[in-house]
Structure 1
Amino acid sequence: MDRILKSISFIFHPILMPLFGVVFYFAKSPRHIPIQAIQAKLVALIILTVILPIVIYFLLKTLGRVNSIYLKSTNERIIPLLINCIILLIILQRILTPKQVIELYYFFVGILISTLSCLILAIFKFKASIHMIAVSGLFMFFIALSIHFSININGTLAFMAIVTGAVATSRLHVKAHNYTEILLGCFIGALPQLILVNYWL
């Protein structure tokens, strides 16, 4: 059980959540989007949201700005979160414009707001669970998509509810966060997605 709970934090790592949301959107969207456009966006997003953050992490670790991938202290979080905000702005400007895929555009606007909120908290020496921010934001986005496209994804939503609980349990088990930081992460992740639904639902 200990290994399972620890592995959950890696399987549902925050850097993978935006990509999961994009893949799910393209899989369920009834809109006709050329396969070449989908492939191009997925490749760009993999590079910017997965590969680049990993490269930046190892660079920061080499420079001594972070000690581990867990970013346990608030000081360690500031630079990675700031860089992530810049990456998200690039994505919103160059890859996911509102004229092309408005749902994904506001999904990433929500991620940007959540990231900025987490950054501000880190500056003021307070931690919020980034894992919970990511998974709760994705969960809310899936709920909005099911309403927006009038599709039955109850199985997916049930799975996401289980995943959200599992991630919270995992973070508490490894003593990465306390209950307040877990709940705050859920709030910061879900609320921007819920508010931004008004602009595209």
Structure 2
Amino acid sequence: MGKILKSISFIFHPLIMPILGVIFYFSKSPRYIPREIIQAKLIALFILTVLLPIIFYFLLKTLGKVSSIYMPDVKERVLPLAINCIVTIVILQRILTPNQIIELYYFFLGILISSMTCLMLAVFKFKASIHMIAISGVFMYFIALSIHFNININGTLALMSIITGAVATSRLHVNAHTNIELILGFFVGLIPQLILVPYWL
């Protein structure tokens, strides 16, 4: 059981959550979007949200700015979070502008707000769970999409509830966070997505 709980933190890593939300959107959207556009967006977002952060991580580790992928010291989180905010701003300006795919634009705007909030907390030496920020943000986005497109995804939402609980349990099991840090992370991820819903729903 211990190995399963540890593996959950890797399987549902925060890096894959944004691209998971994008894939879900394209799979459920009733709008016609040319396949070439979808492929171009997915490739660009995969490079910027997955590959680039991995490269930055190894660079920061080589420079001694981070000790491990978990960044146990809250001070280690400041620079990676700042880089993530910059990358997200680039995505909003170049990849997902509001006049193209408004649902994804506000999804990533919510991610930016959550990242900036997490950054500010790190500056003040408080560690919120980035895993919970990521999973709760995507969970809220899925709920909003189900309402927006009037589709029944109750099975997916039930699975996301289980996954959210499993991620929280996993982070507690490896002693990565306290209960308060997990709860705070959950709301830091969920609230921005909830607040932005009226702008695109």
Query: TM-score range, shorter-chain basis?
Result: over 0.9
Query: What is the letter of the counterpart of residue 2 of structure 2?
Result: D
CA distance in 2, matches of 1:73, 1:196: 31
CA distance in 2, matches of 1:95, 1:32: 18
Q: Deviations over 1:155-190 (max 9, x none)?
A: 100000000000000000000000000000001000
CA distance in 2, matches of 1:168, 1:175: 11
CA distance in 2, matches of 1:122, 1:73: 10
- Counterparts in 2 of 1:6-155, with a 5 A limit? 6-155=6-155
Equivalent residue number for residue 169 of structure 1: 169
- RMSD across aligned positions (CA): 0.3
Identity level (%): 72
Q: Deviations over 1:19-57 (max 9, x none)?
A: 000000000000000000000000000100000000000
CA distance in 1, matches of 2:124, 2:198: 30
CA distance in 2, matches of 1:61, 1:99: 38
CA distance in 1, matches of 2:128, 2:113: 14
Q: Deviations over 1:102-154 (max 9, x none)?
A: 00000000000000000000000000000000000000000000000000001
CA distance in 1, matches of 2:151, 2:110: 22
Instruction: Compute the TM-score of the two structures, normalised by the length of structure 1.
Output: 1.00
CA distance in 1, matches of 2:118, 2:150: 32
CA distance in 1, matches of 2:110, 2:71: 22
Residue correspondences, number: 201
SS at match of 1:69: coil
CA distance in 2, matches of 1:101, 1:141: 14
CA distance in 2, matches of 1:58, 1:44: 20
Equivalent residue number for residue 184 of structure 1: 184
After TM superposition, give the deviation of residue 74 of structure 1 in Å: 1.1
Instruction: Compute the TM-score of the two structures, normalised by the length of structure 2.
Output: 1.00
Equivalent residue number for residue 200 of structure 1: 200
CA distance in 1, matches of 2:180, 2:117: 15
Query: What is the letter of the counterpart of residue 184 of structure 2?
Result: L
CA distance in 2, matches of 1:156, 1:148: 16
Structure 2 residues without counterparts, runs of 5 or longer: none
Structure 1 residues without counterparts, runs of 5 or longer: none
Question: Which contiguous aligned blocks of 4+ residues in structure 1 show a shift greater than 2 angstroms?
Answer: none
SS at match of 1:166: helix
Query: What is the letter of the counterpart of residue 33 of structure 1?
Result: I
Query: What is the letter of the counterpart of residue 124 of structure 1?
Result: F
